[in-house]
Structure 1
Amino acid sequence: MASEHQQLLIHELNHRVKNTLATVQAFTTQSLRSAMSLGEAREAITARLIALAKAHDLLTAEKWESADLSRIVSDALCLHNADRQRCRWQGDAVRVVPRTALALSMMLHELATNATKYGALSNETGAVSVSWATVEDANDPYEAGPRLTMHWRERDGPPVLPPTRRGFGSRMIERGLANELGGKVKIFYEPAGAVCTLDIPLEAS
């Protein structure tokens, strides 16, 4: 029995390591490809590694069983020195499984990075609000079960213009995250500020 349990733990560890290495490989390759200089690439890769490590720390403290969504959001924003006066978050008490926690942590990191460089957190007056809720979808039998909806909204930052090309962060959020979590993620560049909406199945933790 102990041997079977040990083998299960080893298998789980191997799975986590492979997923983590795949994530690191993806954002390293894309960071090098899209950066204007090696210095910019180094900065982007380092920041993404720190965000990933922070998410791993949170999951390790929770024995890799689940993570509190409010903590995930606060950790992501605090990495960018965003204070409570300019960044507010609220939502249902939700715990998410490890793979969802990691994916959401990276999504929030990319959004916060963009807000710090170009958006609402790049000036002295802008603000960010993050809200989420759990909903039951009873209309679609194929999508039965609880879902998580999340809204990221920026305001009072510099005037927003749609980008001429999608950067790695936007592509990772809209395509990679949606595929990883089996949901829908969209970014809108509204004049008042960037908006990101997320709708994903909520796996039992």
Structure 2
Amino acid sequence: MTGLDDRNSALVNGAGVNTAKPLTTPAQDLVLFRTIAEAVSDGVIVTSADLDSPGPRIEYVNPAFTRITGYELDEVLGQTPRILQGPRTDRSTMDRLRAALEQGGTFFGTAVNYRKDGTEYINEWLVNPVRNAEGRLLHWVSAQRDVSTRERAAASQQILLGELNHRVMNNLAAVQSLATRLGRTTSSIQEFRAALQERLSALAQAQKAIVAAHWQSVPLHSLAQAQLAPFGFGDAGRVEASGPSIHLRAGAAVVLGLALHELGLNALKHGALSAPHGRVGLNWLVVPGPVGDKLCVSWNETGGAAITPPTHRGFGLRLIEEVLVRELQGEARISFDPDGVHCLLGAPLSSILDRRS
């Protein structure tokens, strides 16, 4: 190995490799070291012991080092490991490394490193001192590993757990709000129980659509299908839906899901779906606006019994109007025409779209 002299007999023992019997010649030590270093998947660097500026010089790297970093042996000989550092390399980690080496000890750490082509990777490395029989420091040996995939997975898991916690808390808040509002508008515990069960079912269907989308964006058509299936979605044209592909963020899916459920429930009890030949058409489109595009969702009932406007704003109507405005900066217009209920829901795309889709 270029740069390594007969002191290399210390490398194997100094790097912590136990042998059944001492290797008595430097040549045997060197052959064993090269065999091990060139077989492992981790990068191996051997440097000089000198810590004075510019620091330890690289004397050997194994093939795995080349695979990880893109540097060939002849490109790094005589260089310092600092060639792997860059703008996002953590200086405090490097300071800990320096302090450990000044004490002649080992070091284990993780930091952002840079390949020959300038791309980043997350490096996990262990540095060990190599000493001769008299205890004099001869080299540093470092085993290095690219742990970028592992670290990204860990970071993604933390983000997912945080998002899950946020959404669970939001769902609990929604349940609390529903229970409070229903308590004000129902006249008996039986009525309260039935009404709450219906709304919790709607929340569950919205959550089911979110989970089916792997906690990512929720297709509006899938949400409509999940919420309106109990009211005849897809059954002989009773409830039909059409519109462009729109992917909602989870919070918007919950709000729109509740609104669709309330409209479906009202149609089943009092509107078009209470009659044998009643129909519901659900359509949506994106409309350009002066301050940004807007999603418009229209609900149109036909074929039902003649209806009259309600004398008071019930729970469902208030939920649609108030929650849509508060949560999505949207608006709702509902008309009770003789031929059926017509509802137009609108919200800025910026408040409902999943930005990752």
Q: Common fold, TM-score beyond 0.5? A: yes
Match of 2:244 among 75, 92, 98: 92
Number of equivalenced pairs = 200
Q: Does 2:329 match 1:182? A: yes
Instruction: Identify the match of residue 297 of structure 2 among 150, 154, 166.
Output: 150
Distance in 1, Cα, partners of 2:230 & 2:324: 21
Match of 2:188?
37
Counterpart contact for 2:301–2:342, Cα < 8 Å: yes
Shift of 1:76: 1.4
Q: Does 1:103 align with 2:255?
A: yes
1:118 is aligned to 2:270: yes
Aligned match for 1:70, one of 221, 229, 242: 221
Higher mean alpha-carbon deviation, 24-33 vs 111-120, is at 24-33
Q: Distance in 2 between matches of 1:156 and 1:53?
A: 30
Distance 1:35 1:46 in 2: 13
Amino acid at match of 2:218: A
The letter for the 2-side match of 1:193 is G
Tell me by how many angstroms 1:167 deviates: 0.8
Mapped contact 2:286–2:295 kept (Cα < 8 A): yes
Moved over 3 A (4+): 1-7
Give CA deviations for 1:70-121 in whole Å, capped at 9, x if unaligned: 1111221112345242111111121111111111110000000111111111
Secondary structure at 2:320's aligned position in 1?
helix
C-alpha distance 84-74 of structure 1, shift in aligned 2 (>3 A): farther
In 1: Cα distance, 2:161 partner to 2:221 partner: 30
CA apart distance, 1:3: 5.3
Cα deviation 1:106-151 (Å, max 9, x = unaligned): 00000001111111111212111100012222xx2xx22x321110
Q: What is the distance in 2 between the residues matched to 1:93 and 1:19?
A: 26
Give the structure with the larger helix fraction.
1
TM-score relative to the length of structure 2:
0.53
1:173 to 311, 317, 320: 320
Q: Which amino acid aligns with 1:199?
A: G
- Is contact 1:91–1:133 with CA below 8 Å preserved after alignment? yes
TM-score normalised according to structure 1 size: 0.90
SS at match of 1:187: strand
Gaps in structure 1 of 5+ consecutive residues: none
Structure 2 unaligned runs (5+)? 1-150
Contact 2:272 2:302 in 1 (8 A): yes
- In structure 2, how many angstroms separate the alpha carbons of the residues matched to 1:78 and 1:62? 18
Cα-Cα RMSD: 1.6
Distance in 1 separating the partners of 2:265 and 2:175: 17
Distance 1:93 1:8 in 2: 27
Aligned to 2:68: none
Q: Which moved more, 1:34-43 or 1:56-65?
A: 34-43
Q: Among residues 13, 19, 41, which one is paired with 2:164 in the alignment?
A: 13
CA distance in 2, matches of 1:174, 1:84: 30
The equivalent residue for 2:279 is 127
Structure 2: which amino acid aligns with 1:16?
A: R
Structure 2: distance between partners of 1:79 and 1:125: 17
Question: CA–CA distance in 1 between the matches of 2:183 and 2:254?
Answer: 22
Contact 1:51 1:79 (8 Å CA) reproduced:
no
Q: Given residue 328 of structure 2, which amino acid in structure 1 is its aligned partner?
A: L
User: Which 10-residue stretch deviates more, 181-190 or 76-85?
Assistant: 76-85
- Provide closer, same or farther for how the CA distance between residues 5 and 76 of structure 1 changes in structure 2, counting only shifts above 3 A: closer
Deviates more, 1:110-119 or 1:38-47: 38-47
- Alignment partners' CA distance in 2, 1:4 and 1:85: 46
